[in-house]
Amino acid sequence: MSKNPKVTVVEAYIKALCEHDLVAIDTLFDDQASVEDPVGSEPIQGKEAILGFYKTAFSSGISARADGAVRLAANHAVFPFIVELNPGNGEMRLEVIDQFSFNEDNKIIAMKAFWGQENISTP
Amino acid sequence: MSKNPKVTVVEAYIKALCEHDLVAIDTLFDDQASVEDPVGSEPIQGKEAILGFYKTAFSSGISARADGAVRLAANHAVFPFIVELNPGNGEMRLEVIDQFSFNEDNKIIAMKAFWGQENISTP
């Protein structure tokens, strides 16, 4: 069985976070996508704002890795992962669950990141 | 630091699934709550329907365990867990992420369960 295309997107997203690959991020999101990170904050809208958001994240030396299986339901992929910011230099570790909602072309149209103060640690 | 009350609810929920404790389920949900399990199916509405849903689940010999940290954002708790149905007798294993949304009394007002065919295995 070939891999579900939504799982492929999740894997490409985590790889892009690790490699600070803005071109890959550009490919994964729809032009009209929204990003709410964390959930409860003001969502950002549109490709330009989203690329700016990730550019800032990349400048903080972000890294990421999967923390469990991708769950698939309707047009959503929901997955637990670990984000590390500023590794080796005042490192901060976040436990996150992202919800990606997809359009019919399997581009991300909405990303919601669930994490809060309780999910931050400084090892 | 005392435990976040939403995390306490998640832990009580998983315990109630394991112990087939309908009284505990009754305590955790608001009377007007909705349950969408899996996401994409018709949500069920109200305490009576919800208790019926869990009664059916309990009759299938359900068990559950946490599969990672509870993520907290705004009024939501989102958490990965494993459900086992019919253990020891044609067992089915599901990898699920639940999203609980809470009211101000920390009762669950909406439960969404993210899982699909790709998250089912039969060990």
Inter-chain contact A68–B72, Cβ cutoff 8 Å? Answer: no
Nearest CA in chain B to A39: B73
Which are the contacts of A38, defined by CB distance < 8 A and separation ≥ 6? A113, A114, A115, A116, B73, B74
The answer to whether residue B16 sits within a structural domain is yes
Q: What is the pLDDT of residues A15-29, one digit of tens each?
A: 999 999 999 999 999
The answer to whether residue A37 sits within a structural domain is yes
Which are the contacts of B123, defined by CB distance < 8 A and separation ≥ 6? B91, B93
Over range A71-85, report the average pLDDT. Answer: 97
- Is pLDDT at B27 greater than 90 in this prediction? yes
Question: Greatest CA span in chain B, whole angstroms?
Answer: 43
User: Would an 8 Å CB–CB cutoff place B113 in contact with chain A?
Assistant: yes
- Residues in chain B within 8 Å Cβ distance of A70: 118
Over range B9-19, report the average pLDDT. Answer: 98
Q: Which of these, A1, A18, A7, lies nearest to A106 by C-alpha position?
A: A7
Question: What Rg, from alpha-carbon coordinates, does chain B have?
Answer: 14
The number of folded domains in chain B is: 1
pTM as predicted = 0.95
Please tell me what DSSP assigns to residue B117: G
Question: Closest approach of chain B CAs to the CA of A71, in angstroms?
Answer: 5
CA B31 from chain centre, in angstroms, equals: 16
CB atoms within 10 A of CB A52: 13
Give pLDDT, residue A90. Answer: 72
CB atoms within 10 A of CB B107: 16
Q: What is the pLDDT of residues B80-103, one digit of tens each?
A: 999 998 867 778 999 999 999 999
Active-site choice (B30, B37, B54, B98): B37
Give pLDDT, residue B91. Answer: 86
* CATH code: domain of residue B55: 3.10.450.50
CA A38 from chain centre, in angstroms, equals: 11
A20 token code pair? 């600070």
The answer to whether residue B24 sits within a structural domain is yes
The answer to whether residue A43 sits within a structural domain is yes
Q: Name the pLDDT band for B1 (thresholds 50, 70, 90).
A: low
The answer to whether residue B86 sits within a structural domain is yes
Tokens 């007002």 found at: B109
B67 token code pair? 């599969």
The answer to whether residue B51 sits within a structural domain is yes
- Is pLDDT at A1 greater than 60 in this prediction? no
Give pLDDT, residue A2. Answer: 76
Give pLDDT, residue A91. Answer: 86
Q: Name the pLDDT band for B118 (thresholds 50, 70, 90).
A: very high
- Is pLDDT at A53 greater than 90 in this prediction? yes
Q: Which of these, A26, A68, A118, lies nearest to B74 by C-alpha position?
A: A118
User: Would an 8 Å CB–CB cutoff place B7 in contact with chain A?
Assistant: yes
Active-site choice (A21, A37, A98, A105): A37
The answer to whether residue B122 sits within a structural domain is no
Tokens 């309908």 found at: B22
The answer to whether residue A84 sits within a structural domain is yes
- Given a contact cutoff of 8 angstroms between Cβ atoms, the answer to whether A1 and A81 are in contact is no
Full domain range(s) for residue A56: 5-117
Q: Which of these, B85, B102, B104, lies nearest to B93 by C-alpha position?
A: B85
- Is pLDDT at B79 greater than 90 in this prediction? yes
- Is pLDDT at A98 greater than 80 in this prediction? yes
Strands B71-73 and A29-36: unpaired
Inter-chain contact A72–B116, Cβ cutoff 8 Å? Answer: yes
